[in-house]
Amino acid sequence: MDLKRLFKPETMAVFGVSQNNDSHPANVIYNKNHLRYQVSAFAVNGKGGAINGETVYAKIQDIPKRIDLAVIATKAEIVPMVIAECIEAGVGGAVIISGGFAETGLIDLQNRVVSMAREADFPFIGPNCLGVYAPPLLDTFFIPSERIIRPEQGRVAMVSQSGGILVDHMLKCASEGVGLSLAVSIGNKALIRETDLLQYFRDDPGTDVITFYLEGFDENEGRRFVLAASECGKPVVVLKSGKTSSGANAVKSHTASMAGNYEVFSSVMAQYGVVEATDEYELVTFAESLSCYKKTIEGKMGIITSSGGHGALATDTCFFHGLQVPALSTETRTTLCDAVSPAIQKIASFTNPVDLTGSSTDDDFVAAARLLSKNDAVDCIMMLLLPYQPGITMDLGARISLVHQQEGKPIIAYVPHVDKYSMLIEGFMLNKIPVAHSVEDAVHMAEAMRRYKAC
């Protein structure tokens, strides 16, 4: 099925818009897309009429433009009729927001809609979902504009069976500066499923990393998904629920999915280089890291810090996650000592971690980063930066980025998440160097590259 008109529509029809209930999901979706997004939105209700001075069309055939996307927020029993109208009108695809299908036991109703769509080669997302967030084109989430946190447009795609989990991920992406190419809530995934979306994002030039929140698969579907993920040519990050028997029961009641054997699925993902996140924080952190570096590392970390405590904490965390912090040779330590400013040569430590002390300056960090970038003993550098120390300026992020551009070795930065330090952080992020706001997240970013196996 061709999903382009589904995800990149120029026109949208919203079914179920009410003339007397502004908080109805269809009204929320119609109003915010009509007023705030690039898509041309039209309201549809069998009774016709008007809303806020705009026409409410009685049927889709009355709309004067060809419709790319139908968003359906009607009662479940009306959905088959709406799908039939859309197919007849040549609509490109649909998002079925409506609930009341397989997740409530009405499997026959859901199967009827699927049968109609397959026969007509008509793609749809859902039912029982939030649908599609595609900045700056559209947002089918029935969440008022003033309540949703929107990430910037970027190059990470997110797919989730749970709409609520997806909204949480978007909030974290916004706070971490991770931009999205597309976010899709698939709900019951009655027709369009994870493997279909993998194929779409594989060929989407605007997407670099693909993330999934998964609840369950049909029989043998999980293995097909992992094989497709390993062959898609882009990093795939997965967060799986239903790991316990209680979690599996919760999954079934949520989207009518079967959670399956988690241990087997997790083992297969690791075997094929699909990056598994253990929680929602790792998912966003892994996505940020792999959107900057699509490469695999062994995990030999070179740590540069101005605080011995931060260096010790980072070392412990690296070892806990299976990363190495190798000792540097005597020759390397001597070279590092000679490269930094005389004021810190006698007080700094040039083992690994390299502790430049609170008396270090931008020049010292740049010199150390350049030397470790040329050193084969490490394959990734972690910079632990404390912008409140006197010798560091807000230009350091941009200067370290230049070292990476010239030398090519992955660099990960830790900078405390404070607005006052935004200029330093921007120096990294504008140059595609990931920035963590905790030491553990910085380690997670390296761990993502170690787990990833490029095709």
Within a domain: residue 123?
Answer: yes
* C-alpha to C-alpha distances, 385 to 118, 219, 305, 363, 424, nearest whole angstrom: 55, 48, 6, 13, 10
Within a domain: residue 302?
Answer: yes
Residue 31: give its domain's CATH number: 3.40.50.720
Within a domain: residue 140?
Answer: no
Q: Assess whether 326 and 245 both reside in one domain.
A: no
Number of independent structural domains in the chain: 3
Q: Assess whether 281 and 355 both reside in one domain.
A: no
d(CA 234, CA 244): 29
State what percent of residues in the chain have pLDDT above 90: 89
Q: What is the pLDDT of residues 366-380, one digit of tens each?
A: 999 999 999 999 999
Within a domain: residue 185?
Answer: yes
Alpha helices in 262-353 (DSSP H): 262-271, 280-292, 308-320, 330-339
Within a domain: residue 133?
Answer: no
Q: Assess whether 262 and 339 both reside in one domain.
A: no
Within a domain: residue 332?
Answer: yes
Domain boundary at 294, 329, 349, which? 294
- Cα 355 from chain centroid? 34
419 against 6, higher pLDDT: 6
Q: Residues 414, 176: contact at Cβ < 8 Å?
A: no
Kindly report the pTM of this predicted structure. 0.91
Q: How confident is the model at residue 453 (pLDDT cuts 50, 70, 90)?
A: confident
Q: Assess whether 191 and 232 both reside in one domain.
A: yes
Residue 183: give its domain's CATH number: 3.40.50.261
Q: Assess whether 258 and 327 both reside in one domain.
A: no
Hey, what amino acid is at 299? G
Q: What is the pLDDT of residues 72-124, one digit of tens each?
A: 999 999 999 999 999 999 999 999 999 999 999 999 999 999 999 999 999 99
What domain range includes position 39? Answer: 1-128
Within a domain: residue 451?
Answer: no
Q: Assess whether 120 and 4 both reside in one domain.
A: yes
Average pLDDT over residues 392-398: 96
Q: Assess whether 97 and 155 both reside in one domain.
A: no
3-class DSSP state of 265: helix
Within a domain: residue 454?
Answer: no
Q: Assess whether 118 and 201 both reside in one domain.
A: no
- pLDDT of 130 > 90? The answer is yes
Q: What is the pLDDT of residues 421-431, one digit of tens each?
A: 999 999 999 99
